[in-house]
C-alpha cells in the first residue's frame, strides 16, 4: 500500500491509504475536489489540489497538481434603466452563487444599432467588448422584462451583433439560462419563450429548469433593490446551480500538472 497526501488551497488534508497504481486515479482527484468544496477550503479564487504518489517504476515521488478555477458567468439585463428589476435580479443572483462560481454583469448601454455595413469596416469597440466577454465566460445568465409580449429590442440588437460576423457566433455552445422580472401578473413568460427560440437558433445550451419568472416584481424587492421573496430566492439559487453544473461539463476549468519526481525513495545497491 502507498500513501497519498492531498493538499487543497494551501491546506493539507488528512492522509489516506491507496494501492499504488503508478498513476493518479480520477477518483483520488475528485475526492480531493470534494474536500476543496468544504466550507473550510473553498473560496471564489482558484482551488488547488495536490496529490503525491510513489511511482513503482522508478521508485520516486511524483506530485500531480490539479488547478480548478471558478465558473465564470456573464450576466446580461434586457433593460437599460438604472432601477431595472432585472438588473436587481442579476445582483440578487450574484449573492446566491455557489462558491465555485463568479458573476460579472455587462451593461448593454452604448451598443449601437446593428448595421451590417459596419462589419466591412470595423466592429464598434463596445461590440468587441461584448463578444469578448461572452467568449471568455463559461455560461450566460440573461434577465429580461417583457415589452409588448416579447423581449426588449436592446437585447435583440446586442444578440445580433454578438452573433456576427458569419462563422463567429459568440453564443455557440454556451450554457445559458434565462429569467425574467415584470410588474405584471405574467412575469415575462412570453418574453422568455421568444428569447429561448432565438438562443436555440444560436446553438446555446439552454438550462431551462427551474423557471424563474418574477411576477409583480415591484412587490418582490425592497427600496434598496434587495430581493425579499424567499420562493424566488429558492428557485433562483437552483437555476444558478444547474447552470454552473452544466457549464462545468463543457468548460475547461481544470488543469493538471505533473511535477518532476522529487527524489528516489528506494535505492537498490549491489
Digit-coded pLDDT (tens) for 26-36 = 334 433 333 33
Residue 143 falls inside a structural domain: yes
Q: Is there a single domain that holds both residue 43 and residue 106?
A: no
In terms of residues, how long is the chain?
Answer: 270
Q: Is there a single domain that holds both residue 146 and residue 25?
A: no
CATH code assigned at 147 = 3.40.50.360
DSSP notation for 138-177: SEEEEEE--BTTB--HHHHHHHHHHT-STT--TTTT-EEE
Q: Is there a single domain that holds both residue 96 and residue 64?
A: no
Q: Is there a single domain that holds both residue 220 and residue 167?
A: yes
> pLDDT for 140-186, tens place per residue?
999 999 999 999 999 999 999 999 999 999 999 999 999 999 999 99
Residue 268 falls inside a structural domain: no
Residue 9 domain boundaries: 2-69+253-259
Q: Is there a single domain that holds both residue 111 and residue 237?
A: yes
pTM over 0.85: no
Q: Is there a single domain that holds both residue 144 and residue 86?
A: yes
Q: Is there a single domain that holds both residue 152 and residue 242?
A: yes
Q: Is there a single domain that holds both residue 104 and residue 43?
A: no
Q: Is there a single domain that holds both residue 39 and residue 95?
A: no
The share of the chain scoring above pLDDT 70, in percent, equals 68
Give CA–CA dist 220/228, Å, rounded.
5
Q: Is there a single domain that holds both residue 168 and residue 46?
A: no
Q: What does the buried/exposed string (b/e) look like for 228-245 if buried means 16 or more CB atoms within 10 Å of the residue's CB? A: ebeebbebbbebbbbbbe
Residue 146 falls inside a structural domain: yes
Residue 267 falls inside a structural domain: no
How many domains, in total, are found in the chain?
A: 2
Q: Is there a single domain that holds both residue 111 and residue 229?
A: yes
> pLDDT for 85-108, tens place per residue?
999 999 999 999 999 899 999 999
Model confidence at 24, pLDDT cuts 50, 70, 90, reads: very low
Instruction: Let me know the angle formed at the C-alpha of 109 by 106 and 113, rounded to the nearest 5 degrees.
Output: 120
Amino acid at each position: 500500500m502507498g500513501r497519498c497526501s492531498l493538499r487543497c488551497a494551501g491546506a493539507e488534508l488528512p492522509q489516506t491509504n491507496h494501492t499504488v497504481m503508478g498513476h493518479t486515479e480520477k477518483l483520488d482527484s475528485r475526492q480531493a475536489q470534494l474536500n476543496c468544496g468544504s466550507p473550510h477550503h473553498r473560496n471564489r479564487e482558484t482551488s488547488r489540489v495536490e496529490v503525491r504518489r510513489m511511482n513503482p517504476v522508478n521508485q520516486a515521488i511524483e506530485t500531480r497538481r490539479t488547478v480548478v478555477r471558478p465558473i465564470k458567468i456573464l450576466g446580461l439585463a434586457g433593460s437599460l434603466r438604472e432601477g431595472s428589476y432585472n438588473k436587481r435580479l442579476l445582483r440578487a443572483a450574484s449573492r446566491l452563487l455557489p462558491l465555485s462560481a463568479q458573476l460579472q454583469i455587462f451593461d448593454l448601454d452604448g451598443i449601437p444599432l446593428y448595421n451590417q455595413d459596419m462589419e466591412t469596416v470595423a466592429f464598434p469597440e463596445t461590440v468587441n467588448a461584448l463578444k469578448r466577454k461572452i467568449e471568455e465566460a463559461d455560461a450566460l445568465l440573461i434577465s429580461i422584462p417583457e415589452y409588448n409580449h416579447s423581449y426588449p429590442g436592446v437585447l435583440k440588437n446586442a444578440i445580433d451583433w454578438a452573433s456576427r460576423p458569419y462563422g463567429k457566433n459568440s453564443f455557440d455552445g454556451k450554457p445559458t439560462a434565462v429569467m425574467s422580472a415584470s410588474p405584471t401578473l405574467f412575469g415575462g413568460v412570453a418574453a422568455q419563450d421568444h428569447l429561448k427560440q432565438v438562443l436555440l437558433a444560436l446553438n446555446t445550451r439552454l438550462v431551462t429548469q427551474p423557471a424563474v419568472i418574477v411576477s409583480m416584481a415591484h412587490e418582490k424587492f425592497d427600496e434598496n433593490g434587495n430581493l425579499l421573496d424567499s420562493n424566488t430566492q429558492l428557485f433562483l439559487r437552483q437555476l444558478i446551480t444547474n447552470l454552473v453544473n452544466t457549464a462545468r461539463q463543457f468548460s475547461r476549468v481544470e488543469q493538471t500538472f505533473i511535477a518532476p519526481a522529487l527524489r528516489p525513495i528506494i535505492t537498490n545497491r549491489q
